[in-house]
Amino acid sequence: MRHRRSTAALVGGASILALALTGCGPSPAVSGSAGADGSAYDAFAEMSADERAAAIVAAAEEEGEVVVYLRSDDVFGEIEAAFEAEYDLDLVILNPGTTQVVQQQIFEQAAAGRIEADVVETYSHELNLMYAEEGVVAPIPAFLAESAPDRDLVSDHAIETFQYPFLPVWNVDAVTGADVPTSIRDFGEPFWAGRTALVTNYHPWYLTIFQELTQNQGMSVAEFEELMTTIAAHSSTADSSNPASAGIASGQYYGGPNIALVAPQRLTGAPVSYEPTIDPVPLVPAGIGLMREAPHPAAALLFSTWYLNEGATILAAEQYVQQNAAETDLLEAAKVRPDLTDLTSERLNEWRIAYDNLLKGTEPILPDYVRGG
């Protein structure tokens, strides 16, 4: 099999695929680029379930590979082994960095007319807003939506695969007694000055915390700005949760308010804790989307169907992945997802800029629309 960059697995099995994909009427098998309108996906829509399953497998194996951006690197090896055990094509997994790096890479490819990937996994709301408006992802076909384990996970351009919990983490040797945080407000106390890590690029966490504190906990917008300015002044920045958690474990930092749960979980035996959890825990959903001009559209459908079903079993079994079906590491915690009702691409970008400004010590640290501007 062929691999390039970060890699993982292959898939196959028309009989399993047929159980997931439904529809009616015959149509010829399709391979080749999905095209500007995603028409290669539509070509499978009028087939019966069995015909579609067989046609997708045949076309995908003729295409020879599927290229996907995935997030949960802890399970890449397992995904690879399981997928390649079933299907006669290569799976190439790309994982160049943060969701912002992934977006920049894909948008640059689209502008140059050379899309490399077939499927992308990133924040679901970004797929439905920025990616969709940029025209780089296709609408989710009805037959693929029907293969999702829960239809509530399906939106126009994304199907949710797991959720990111972001929560406070601290060093249990350095933070004891009354200093153990019980609220995010505690990170504004003098004890944390110069001893806190804030992770960059986590604007969905920032949005969710703003909504929770101002809409549900009675904090004014001005009070929120004051609190977050103080926390930022207390903090050093880390470009991901892994170095932030390592710094907390070593004592470089006493703690941080927005660490992705997977990072401290990996540090078995280290003096770090997130329990008792500070409620509510923000959960930001990730999902997969189909590239509108995928080089391997049949393989994109094949992998997506497999990943939502057999792949979901691998994700659910991995303790470092928070699956939609059951957040087994946070069963007792209250959890909250961002309210995206009025969010647009422009407003989402304003949140990204606002959070970046907060970390840089510049203004504004909130979008104008929430400040009444």
> What pLDDT does 44 receive?
94
Q: What integer is the mean pLDDT of 135-162?
A: 93
Residue 188 DSSP class = G
Phi, psi angle pair for 10, to nearest 5°: -115, 165
**Rounded to an integer, what distance in angstroms lies between the CA atom of residue 179 and that of residue 187?**
10
For 93-117, write each residue's pLDDT tens digit: 999 988 889 999 999 999 999 999 9
Coil/strand/helix, residue 26: coil
**Rounded to an integer, what distance in angstroms lies between the CA atom of residue 227 and that of residue 233?**
10
Q: What integer is the mean pLDDT of 353-367?
A: 97
Q: What integer is the mean pLDDT of 14-21?
A: 45
- Which amino acid would we find at residue 263? A
Determine if the pTM surpasses 0.85.
no
Domains defined along the chain, listed by start: 14-162+285-317 (3.40.190.10), 166-283+333-371 (3.40.190.10)
Q: What integer is the mean pLDDT of 195-205?
A: 95
Most confident by average pLDDT, 97-101, 160-164, 248-252: 248-252
CA angle, corner 121, sides to 69 and 92, nearest 5? 25
For 64-81, write each residue's pLDDT tens digit: 999 999 988 878 899 989
Side-chain-facing half-sphere of 35: CA atoms under 13 Å: 10
